[in-house]
């Protein structure tokens, strides 16, 4: 793939961005990056204490005042996402960007041995939840100028990745289908694969790995922020650092 150019400076002024899994890791880093770029960030996650910490960090940065929306994707149903849609519509009138970041590993084991209840739980968090959330957000994104949806990609289609690997592969298909369906509405849908990054999620997946050798979430956050901006126009792509001409 020919390298795609990022804007020299990411501009998210006047844009409202919803980030799932915003309490730590990549979600937190992207929330801070978006806030620094001028976005009003909606922090969604299951642990209110963590969301409040990110809220305080954004305020200290001088970013637009963020919003907190506690929600656990495991137990949330369609009505919960419609409630979120109503709150965003009433508070902001639109949504400019959605970052589907929240995820859960579950367990690494052969398919033959995979616990059925665990399978459903992993699928709910990594696939069903993002689908219901995205579906609820589409009408809001259509109200915005140049709406953007970004998925956090992770290619794990090898042995022992189980439900997580299947869910992330399905997310990739969902991204491409949405990109095709929403193209005429001016909404761009892409995914970014950060590959190896120093997060708690990565440590659980690779316990023998030395995390000191890995980049931090803040080192990749600006790629997501750029994809959430109105300054890019590519669509339906899963990108890595190597695919992007980083001018920053």
77 by Cβ neighbours in 10 Å (0-12 / 13-18 / 19+) ranks as exposed
Query: 70, 21 in Cβ contact below 8 A?
Result: no
One digit per residue, the tens of pLDDT, for the chain of length 248 reads 556 788 889 999 999 999 999 999 999 999 999 999 999 999 999 999 999 999 999 999 999 999 999 999 999 999 999 999 999 999 999 999 999 999 999 999 999 999 999 999 999 999 999 999 999 999 999 999 999 999 999 999 999 999 999 999 999 999 999 999 999 999 999 999 997 777 777 767 667 777 788 878 899 999 999 999 999 999 999 999 888 865 44
Choose among 123, 132, 173: nearest CA to 44. 132
Closest CA relative to residue 148, chosen from 12, 38, 43: 12
Helix (H, G, I), strand (E, B) or coil at 191: strand
User: Which positions ≥6 away from 5 have C-beta within 8 Å?
Assistant: 244, 245, 247
pTM attached to this predicted model: 0.94
Closest CA to 91 of 116, 71, 66: 66
Q: Find tokens 């909606």 and name the residue.
A: 42
CB 198 within 8 A of CB 211: yes
Between CA 124 and CA 137 the distance in angstroms is 18
**Rounded distance, CA 18 to CA 97, Å?**
6
pLDDT at 248: 41
Contacts of residue 2, defined as CB under 8 A and 6 or more positions apart, other chains included, come to none
Task: Classify residue 219 by burial, with Cβ atoms within 10 Å: 0-12, 13-18, 19+.
Answer: middle
Q: How far is 167 from 102, CA to CA, in rounded Å?
A: 12
Number of residues written out for the chain: 248
Q: Please name each of the domains of the chain with its CATH number.
A: 4-245 (3.40.50.720)
DSSP per-residue codes, 52-84: HHHHHHHHHHTPPP-EEEE--TTT--HHHHHHH
* Terminal alpha carbon distance of the chain: 20
Q: Which two tokens stand for residue 61?
A: 């940065």
- By annotation, the residues acting in catalysis are 164
């Amino acid at each position: 793939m020919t390298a795609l150019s990022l804007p020299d400076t990411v501009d998210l002024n006047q844009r409202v961005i919803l980030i799932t899994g915003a309490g730590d890791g990549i979600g937190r880093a992207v929330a801070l990056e978006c806030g620094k770029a001028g976005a009003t960030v909606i922090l969604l996650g299951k642990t209110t204490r963590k969301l409040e910490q990110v809220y305080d960090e954004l305020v200290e940065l001088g970013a637009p005042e963020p919003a907190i929306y506690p929600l656990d994707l495991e137990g949330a149903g369609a009505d919960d996402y419609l409630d979120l849609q109503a709150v965003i519509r009433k508070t902001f009138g639109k949504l400019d960007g959605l970052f589907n970041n929240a995820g859960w590993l579950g367990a690494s084991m052969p398919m033959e041995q995979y616990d059925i209840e665990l399978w459903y739980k992993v699928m709910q968090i990594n696939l069903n939840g993002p689908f219901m959330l995205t579906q609820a957000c589409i009408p809001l994104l259509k109200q915005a100028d140049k709406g953007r949806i970004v998925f956090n990609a992770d290619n794990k289609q090898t042995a022992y990745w189980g439900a997580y690997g299947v869910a992330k592969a399905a997310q990739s298909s969902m991204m491409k289908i949405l990109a095709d369906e929403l193209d005429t509405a001016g909404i761009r849908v892409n995914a970014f694969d950060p590959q190896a990054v120093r997060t708690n999620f990565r440590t659980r997946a690779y316990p023998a790995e030395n995390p000191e050798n890995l980049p931090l979430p803040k080192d990749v956050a600006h790629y997501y922020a750029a994809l959430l901006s109105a300054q890019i126009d590519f669509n339906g792509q899963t990108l890595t650092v190597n695919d992007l001409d980083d001018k920053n």
